[in-house]
Amino acid sequence: MIKAKVVGAGGYGGVGITELLLKHPEVEIGCLVSLSDTGRKMSDVFPHLRGFCDDVIVSPDDPKTKEHYDVVFYSTPDGVGMQSAEEEIARGAKVIDYSGDFRFGTVERYAEYANFIGLDPVHKSPALLTETVYGLPELHDVTDSQTIVGNPGCFAVSCILGLAPAVEAGIIDTKSIICDCKTGVSGAGKKPNAAFHYPNRYDNMNAYKLAGHQHVVEIEQELGLLGEDDVQITFTAQVVPVCRGIMSCLYASLEGQTGEQLLEVYKEFNKNNPFVRVQDARTPASIADVRGTNYCNLTVDVDERNNRLRVISHIDNLMKGQAGNALQNMNLMFGFDSGIGLASAGQYP
């Protein structure tokens, strides 16, 4: 059995991966770490786990955290994983980090990202950047030789999967891309914030981070690797009064393809991607269709009047946008089928 440690277990990303690991036939949870709720049972913090996960949450300096684990999930903000990932790998663990710490393969690319969002541009574990892979299995090979993966950002997953086939095929103007993205409130995390207090959030929506969202850098990086031209996007994030889910409406100028031709491009690109489902504009689609699942549903369409690509990308921000994708990476890092522990149709309504 694979022994797992979850750092940041008290947040939405931490409980999300805990829920998934409990259902995985090849994994046992060995350690739950958090700065908050230390000394409490996981099931006291999250009562739905009573009888399923009654492990006590420990602090980062607890001796238990120094034991050997086969895989360590960092469900933590930027700057945390880079401080101890090398130590975990030296003890024989494989590392999956949710933050931006390991999404970039060079110190220069990391510095560009850090400067873009106002962080210290000096990486604390620069040697690991040459070993990491951007953890979107639909674009990159994640294999059992991989020791560290940078799990993508939630908006980035929805946008990259929605645009990658068109960029690779060279059929859109990569300077014309518009990403109009809406997310549920859970995307802001568990920590209380006045902006996400119920009276302020209910029956309300707004755009945010117009000066520059942190996921723009990785979207442009990953799409840029697929095509011959640099990619520059116009990205607008909005929060809407739902709990979970992302709907990204993606637009770009086309070179004259029909809807049928575009649909075939997307189906061919994703023929070996089990968690991407491609459909035409006649098929109803909403975030309810992917809630609680690791799927990305892509509605592929052409605005023929304006000769423009229009793709609607739906994901669950806490699953394909976070914990589900992390488990998919873990499966591949240990040589398992990518879908183990992720076979869920979700819930309806």
Q: Is 53 a catalytic residue?
A: no
Tell me the CA end-to-end span of the chain in Å, nearest whole number.
35
Q: At what angle do helices 259-269 and 154-169 cross, to 10 degrees?
A: 110
Q: Which two tokens stand for residue 177?
A: 């891309």
Residues 150 and 205: their CA atoms lie apart, in Å, by 30
Q: Is the peptide bond before 349 cis (omega within 30 degrees of 0)?
A: yes
C-beta separation of 5 from 71 below 8 A: yes
Q: Which of 53, 154, 179, 181 is catalytic?
A: 154
3-state SS assignment for residue 236: strand
Residues 257 and 238: their CA atoms lie apart, in Å, by 30
Contacts of 6 (CB under 8 A, 6+ apart): 14, 17, 18, 21, 29, 31, 32, 33, 72, 73, 75
Residues 327 and 347: their CA atoms lie apart, in Å, by 20
Of 250, 247, 209, which Cα lies nearest the Cα of 231?
A: 250
Give me the active site residues, please: 154
